[in-house]
Amino acid sequence: MRATVCTLIVLGLLWDSVRAEIPINSLKAAAVAWTGDLPCRKWDCECALRHHRGCCCATHELQEAEDQLYVTVKDLWMRVSQLSDSALEAIGGLQIAFTAYMSPRENCFGPFTRNTPIPYDVITLNQGSGYNPALGVFTAHRPGVYSFSFSVYCNVGMAGKRLYYRVQLMRNSEAVAATWEDNREDSEDSSSQTVLLPLQQGDQVYVELQSGRQLCGNVMGLNTFSGSLIYPTQA
């Protein structure tokens, strides 16, 4: 019978909310008139029946649920904050990029009797400190796929004078890209290259001028070298 009373109460609430055709006043009256114990734990069935709302029903259970939800959300927030801090720390180690260019000079760079690294000595960015301006060399501190770009400008100053250069991008001792010019028709020219390279930790990348060639008429920002980490890889 106790289960029947609770069932009648619930049915009364549901049918009242949907305007059921079956009269529910009799169900309410029967429930309120019940003289035995109401085995609905801490539910205030009379309040629910009279006011048609749950404001005073299951107060204790709702408070417990609210407290539990608060503790759960607080714990999740702390975990998310810790994860965010870890992610920022990891990403910080992946911020590797540099850009440098040759400072302006009156004399030509070259020619030399052997291949010579170009000194890009003016640094505008060196995040991760992988680029060494004294040597003109970038050293990979972690394995990954990197992007490198270099631009070459040369002006020999007069028509008929030989415009003669060859510049190549080196990975350790291997040439991986190059650009060159050899003619007497143009007194001024420029070119550029961009490549993606897989590097291991400790690999070195630099740009060199081939022996017997020269770069002349350099002005600010026209002979440049830059690189950045695209994504890390396993060693």
pLDDT of residue 68: 80
pLDDT in tens, 136-151: 999 999 999 999 999 9
Closest CA to 227 of 175, 167, 152, 149: 149
Tokens in use for 168?
A: 């190549």
180 C-beta neighbours (distance < 10 Å), count: 13
Q: At 208, is the pLDDT very low, low, confident or very high (cuts 50, 70, 90)?
A: very high
Q: Stretch 144-165: mean pLDDT, rounded?
A: 88
Buried b (16+ CB within 10 A) or exposed e, 26-64: ebbeebeebeeeeebeebbbeebbeeeeeeebbeeeeee
| Interatomic CA distance for residues 155 and 215, integer angstroms | 7
Asked whether residue 135 carries a pLDDT value surpassing 80, the answer given is yes
Looking at residue 138, its amino acid is F
pTM more than 0.85: no
Return the CATH number of 94-232, one of 3.90.25.10, 3.30.420.40, 2.60.120.40, 3.40.50.300.
Answer: 2.60.120.40
pLDDT of residue 97: 97
| Interatomic CA distance for residues 35 and 2, integer angstroms | 11
The C-alpha angle 103, 151, 201, rounded to 5 degrees, equals: 90
CATH 2.60.120.40, the chain: domain bounds: 94-232
Q: How far is CA 178 from CA 18, 170, 174, 175, 210, in A?
A: 80, 9, 11, 7, 10
pLDDT of residue 106: 84
| Interatomic CA distance for residues 117 and 114, integer angstroms | 10
- Across 57-71, 106-120, 206-220, least confident range: 57-71
pLDDT in tens, 77-98: 677 766 765 555 555 557 899 9
